[in-house]
Amino acid sequence: MSFNIKFTNDNGVKSDIEIVFIDKDLLEKLPESIINIFLLQNFSAKDGEFIFLQNSNTLYYGAILDNVDSIREAAAKSIRIVKKYNIQSLKIKGFDNKEFTYALLLGILLGNYEFVDYKSDSKKASLESIFVVSNIDYKDELQKAFVVANSINMARNLINTPPQDCTPVVFADIAKRISKDFKLDCKIGDMKFLQNEKMDLILSVARASVHEPRFIELKYSPKNAKKKVIVVGKGLTYDSGGLSLKPADYMTTMKADKGGGCAVLGIMQAIAGLKPDIEVIGIIGATENMIGGNAYKPDDIIRSREGLTIEVKNTDAEGRLVLADCLSYAQDLKPDYIIDLATLTGACVVGLGEYTSGIMGYNTDLNREFEEIALKSGELVAILPFNRHLEKLIDSKNADISNVSSTRYGGALTAGIFLGRFIREDYKDKWIHLDIAGPAYVEKEWDVNSFGASGIGIRSVVDFILKVSNGS
């Protein structure tokens, strides 16, 4: 991060600018001279409205002051406004509440992010110090906010990196670097590893790319770990659609098809920093889906690591193939929970919109528990229910299963059900599938996210793991 955050109980601490969150009730308690200025400029303190008073160097930002999500977003958006000014210090009033304070801190740190690695004229912000005025020094909340925000911003940077600079091999090298920096065990599987593991689904998807695929495994393993959680990520560093070629307009954001894999890296980095008493393993299938004379084809029938045969009806439904082999491997490690994250289907975006991830799985209680944790973390999610009628839509007359449904409807669910076919009976109640296709990459600012990658999934999965670690 480019600045320090300090707690102070001195409301008179000097700073270049002050940020004040305000609602209608607080507005009415201000001096009449300030209210008149607000009225003159039609500022009514609605959620998301802001006004800057130069005479006092104060930014007033409208927020719902009893809503933690509004506070987080207000912190992110207000920091984006003031960091453009030539200032070195900033003051903001905090909250005498852990949850709201953490939201404030996380909003500041996530709102400060911008992707400028390829900008030749980018300028470094001058802001150095942020003073949070509070009667309590929330050290634990500040430490967690830094750890989680750094992990999210790392994932955002990696997702935003263009495909020529983040091939599967580079992805694996970055994972190795993170493992070294954060003292995680790391294993990288090359072509020989994939062949020995009979991961023919991953190998088939990767076949037409000049860049070799990689299998990435990171492990956080404390002594006397109570449980084991495995997170699995789809790491398509680029997806052309294969021979079932995507339209040109749909290719321009396909660097983000590695969003699930990048989220797994972010989760592992965060867990290494937070150090819960639980074993966590991150697994990523990293490859490209390209075209060529040796590309895998519609009508191919491929045998998975799990032993099931898949009839390929559409080569653009490749992410579920990569995940199927990864999930098979994950179950051999005997986890207590498996969570996979993937930018899997456009159908999920159609159904839930750009900002919401879909939760799927066979254990309704686990789905609801994860939904509650995710929403509390600030990530929007919704449960999509499986049913026995959808199960029939991915049957194949020529193989055990088809990689796409026989109907265009319910595509997010049938993709999730496809993955479910590779989950053994012993693990069906321990598995969650997250389709993050909507919020993983959005081409406009929203909530705490700037243009582009959001790092979605990291906050919710990290908080789920922490809850499992605490035994609650």
| Residues assigned a catalytic role | 246, 320
> Which tokens hold the place of 67?
């809503």
Q: Within 13 Å, how many C-alpha atoms sit on residue 7's CB side?
A: 17
Place of tokens 């090359």: 190
Helix (H) or strand (E) holding 339: strand 337-342
Two structure tokens written together for 394: 């991915």
Half-sphere exposure of 379 (CA within 13 A, CB side): 29
Strand partners, 387: none
Helix, strand, coil % over all residues of the chain, rounded to 5? 40, 20, 40
Pairing state between β 337-342 and 228-239:
parallel
Instruction: Say how many C-beta atoms besides its own lie within 10 A of residue 273's C-beta.
Output: 16
Please state, in angstroms and rounded to a whole number, the distance separating the CA atoms of residues 323 and 349. 19
Quick count: other Cβ atoms within 10 Å of Cβ 118? 10
Residue with token string 């999965």 = 461
Rounded distance between C-alpha atoms, residue 239 and residue 345, angstroms: 13
Distance CA 250, CA 229 (A): 34
Calpha distance 357→470 (Å, rounded): 25
Cα separation, 254 vs 269, whole angstroms: 24
Whole-angstrom CA distances from 136 to 131, 140, 242, 368 are 13, 11, 56, 34
DSSP 393: G
Tell which phi-psi region holds residue 157, choosing left (phi > 0), alpha (psi between -120 and 50) or beta. alpha
